[in-house]
A = this chain, B = another copy of it.
Amino acid sequence: MKAEILATGDEIRSGALVDSNSAFVADQLEANGIAVVRHTSVGDHLETLTATLIEIGRRADVAVVTGGLGPTVDDRSAEAAARAAGVEPMFNEIAWKNVESFFKTFNRPMSPSNRKQALLPSGCGVLPNAVGTAPGFFLTIERCRFFFLPGVPYEMKRMLVEQVIPELLRLQGAAALHSRVKTITTFGLPESLAGEKMEGVEAAFPGITLGLRANFPQIQIKLYGRDNDAARLDQRLRDAGRWAIERLGSHVISDNGESMETVVGRRLQAQSATLALAESCTGGLIANWLTNVAGSSTYFLFSGVTYSNQAKIAVLGVNPETIDRFGAVSEETAQEMAVGARRVAGATYGLATSGIAGPDGGSDEKPVGTVCIGFAGPKGAWGRRLTFSFGKRLMNKKVFAMAALDLLRKEMG
């Protein structure tokens, strides 16, 4: 079954908006054994939209279209779909009930333009939208079954996963394959090296395909598997996962796609431990990551984002002589920052960063990209220096923050 994806809207066409919907749709389709051949984006122009639908309808077996279902005159997907299928737009009672019930549930005032959202191609099936005003629909154009979804990502995602994917799996019928994906999150290996380490996995485990997804500075190793026997598939994916984890060693953060901050948070929780940070060069990024996880208040107590030396001294109790003698960016200062954060907050662990994110502030001895990481725990404290060469300020902040969490993760055991 060959699939295509069409993202509509002048914002995407003109580059005002990055189209992240198509990647989500492609990932879901591929993970369910449906081969995605092509993505297309066009604007809101009715004739172009209609012609593109017909063109895709002649090439693909199934297609997912996002966008153009809203209440404004720019939203033209339903009209174009009707033209492409050679039918009339009609007021659809089922779609209208969906629109009405959304406004009732969320207690919002309806505007007359919302009536337009129930004007759908005659003969189409309705895909209800539980979390937005725009119902989706499906119909056949040329030889292809099209699914039209709204462009708002969280509405689209929910409707795709809950309604479109099950329907596509039904369409696949007897030819349906079970499909699974195993995601291993790593830190510390460049993408090319991670790829090299995974070489041979497809040969060793037939039916497994490899994907790498960089989410700087983390890299996800994805093992996709398909088989008509679910038990055999699970076994093969487990084996391939073990093989991969052994090769990736201590670079593996999690074997289920979880992020560093989630893994560190859960370890702290499992130990009934708490954490305090002292961040200079990372500027609050570590605290921000950790507090993105719901429930983090049970283990995250405090971060002293001490950009100035005075704050390092006043808040964390760093000895001014340490800064004078070794510099603010030094193993010694970082260690004292970690000790200070731990003491001030009464935490089990203290973790500190002091470094040079750039673009300025580097020297021969301590170039941009240098970070000193301090740790303090029940068994003692230490400082360590690392150097990275990504060059850019924001990349440095991220890799410094991730390296600090990685050392904490390993230290916690």
Contacts and interface: CB of A to CB of B under 8 A. Distances in A.
A246 B291 CA distance: 38
Nearest to A299: B307
Give the dominant DSSP class at A's interface: mixed
Chain A's interface size range is: 35 or more
Interface string A273-291: 0001101000111111011
Interface in A344-400: 344-346, 357-360, 393-394, 397
B311 A307 contact: no
Contact of A294 (B19, B38, B393): B393
Contact of A36 (B15, B24, B29, B36): B15
A286 B297 CA distance: 18
Interface stretch (A39-47, A88-96, A164-172): A39-47
A146 interface: no
Contacts of A16: 23, 27, 211-213, 222
Nearest to A314: B344
B307 A315 contact: no
A13, A19, A213, A305: most-surrounded residue (chain B CB, <10 A): A305
A360 to B, nearest CB: 7
B23 A19 contact: yes
A18 B23 contact: yes
A303 interface: yes
A310 interface: yes
A24 B15 contact: yes
A310 B301 contact: yes
Contacts of A292: 283, 393-394, 397
Contacts of A277: 305
A26 interface: yes
A48 interface: yes
9 contacts: A18-B20, A19-B23, A19-B39, A39-B41, A39-B42, A284-B285, A294-B360, A308-B345, A310-B345
Interface of A: 11-20, 22-30, 36-43, 48, 52, 211-214, 222, 276-277, 279, 283-288, 290-292, 294-297, 300-308, 310-311, 314-315, 344-346, 357-360, 393-394, 397
